[in-house]
């Protein structure tokens, strides 16, 4: 197994765009030749677009891109910009009179990090698509959908930390598997190798353990008053998959979130993972599932370790420097 860059997985191109004043942004992943796609939505408060068509029994087999965005439900407008760009470049599902780009997506809540009236929109989705098409690349941390992300919110923003977006990818022979994940979770981020919290609920740099805090308050209040959450991402691979297998892989890959985010998949997270597969490489599905979990885990860790402190949200790197 060899570590590679997420941009090394053929068939995909990534573009990111942010608004520095709004502290929000979007990440677009294009696959102009199409990719078999699946999705699994685990959180209790999701914001998604075109996920129903990815159900195994439905007609469309391939997508032409996905997007991950901030802005809460407003951010779903990013998909219109991606569609506009792809249609202009003759990419999409052929319906004879035109081509209809298939572009599912998911959003996270970051409206309180900058100006609430500035959020990812159609124009930002179009610009991110231009970047993906012409100068594809990926930056971890405060970029794209991670621009306004935060983690550890059980006691309010004062005790939260900066989240972000991250990636990880590996190759095993001809097979390539990677993940891009924007981490904006209610819970803490835990390094599964050590069991230590590296980002989350904290007070003056001391981690407070979200699960313990909310369990101790079980009869005092409803934690659903903190709705500024959700972790979203995608597994990218050149494996040969059927649509049903892509859906199952998305489901299994959520184990990578559960291993690194505690608690995960809560009533107030909209945790959503896509799988995109360009095909061509036959492989064992169980081994592929294990690898998908691994890249999701490491993408989560990469996201918070790459994040930089922003406004009054301290980053994991700044806290760890002081230890």
- Give 173-192 pLDDT, tens digit per residue: 999 999 999 999 999 999 99
Residue pair 138/252 in contact by the 8 Å Cβ criterion? no
Q: What is the dihedral of CA 146, 152, 153, 157, to 10 degrees?
A: -70
Tokens of 112: 């309180």
List the chain domain ranges: 2-321
Q: What is the pTM of this model?
A: 0.95
Question: What is the DSSP code string of 103-117?
Answer: --EEE---TTSS-TT
Q: Both tokens of residue 245?
A: 């297998």
Distances (CA, A) of 75 to 46, 143, 186, 302: 12, 15, 19, 24
Under-50 pLDDT residues of the chain: 224
Question: 20: how many CB neighbours lie within 10 A of its CB?
Answer: 11
Q: What is residue 218's predicted lDDT score, i.e. its pLDDT?
A: 78
Sheet holding 261-262: strands in order across? Answer: 196-199, 188-191, 261-262
pLDDT value at position 226?
A: 54
Residue with tokens 């029994």: 57
Percentage, residues of the chain above pLDDT 70: 97
Torsion angle in degrees (nearest 10) through CA of 248, 3, 182, 12: -70
Task: Enter the CATH code of domain 2-321.
Answer: 3.60.70.12
Token representation of residue 256:
């990578």
Residue 136's Cβ-side half-sphere holds a number of Cα atoms within 13 Å equal to: 17
């Amino acid at each position: 197994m060899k570590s590679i860059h997420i941009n090394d997985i053929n068939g995909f191109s990534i573009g990111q765009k942010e608004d520095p004043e709004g502290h929000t942004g979007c990440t677009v992943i294009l696959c102009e030749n199409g990719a078999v796609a699946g999705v699994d939505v685990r959180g209790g408060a999701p914001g998604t677009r075109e996920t129903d068509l990815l159900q195994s029994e439905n007609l469309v087999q391939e997508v032409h891109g996905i997007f991950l965005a901030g802005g809460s439900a407003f951010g779903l407008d990013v998909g219109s910009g991606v569609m506009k760009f792809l249609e202009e470049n003759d990419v999409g599902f052929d319906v004879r009179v035109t081509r209809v780009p298939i572009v599912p997506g998911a959003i996270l809540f970051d409206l309180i990090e900058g100006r609430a009236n500035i959020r990812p929109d159609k124009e930002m989705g179009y610009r991110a698509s231009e970047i993906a098409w012409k100068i594809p690349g990926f930056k971890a941390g405060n970029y794209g959908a991670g621009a306004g992300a935060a983690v550890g919110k059980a006691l309010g923003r004062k005790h939260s930390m900066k989240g972000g977006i991250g990636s990880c990818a590996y190759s095993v022979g001809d097979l390539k598997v990677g993940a891009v994940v924007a981490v904006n979770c209610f819970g803490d981020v835990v390094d599964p190798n050590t069991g230590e919290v590296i980002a989350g609920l904290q007070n003056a740099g001391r981690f407070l353990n979200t699960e313990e805090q909310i369990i101790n308050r079980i009869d005092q209040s409803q934690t659903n008053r903190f709705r500024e959450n959700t972790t979203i991402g995608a597994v990218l691979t050149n494996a040969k998959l059927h649509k049903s297998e892509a859906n199952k892989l998305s489901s299994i890959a959520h184990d990578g979130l559960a291993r690194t985010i505690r608690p995960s998949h809560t009533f107030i997270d909209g945790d959503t993972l896509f799988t995109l597969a360009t095909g061509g490489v036959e492989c064992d599905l169980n081994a592929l599932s294990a690898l998908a979990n691994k890249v999701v885990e490491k993408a989560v860790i990469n996201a918070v370790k790459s994040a930089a402190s922003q406004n009054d949200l301290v980053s994991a790197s700044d806290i760890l420097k002081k230890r």
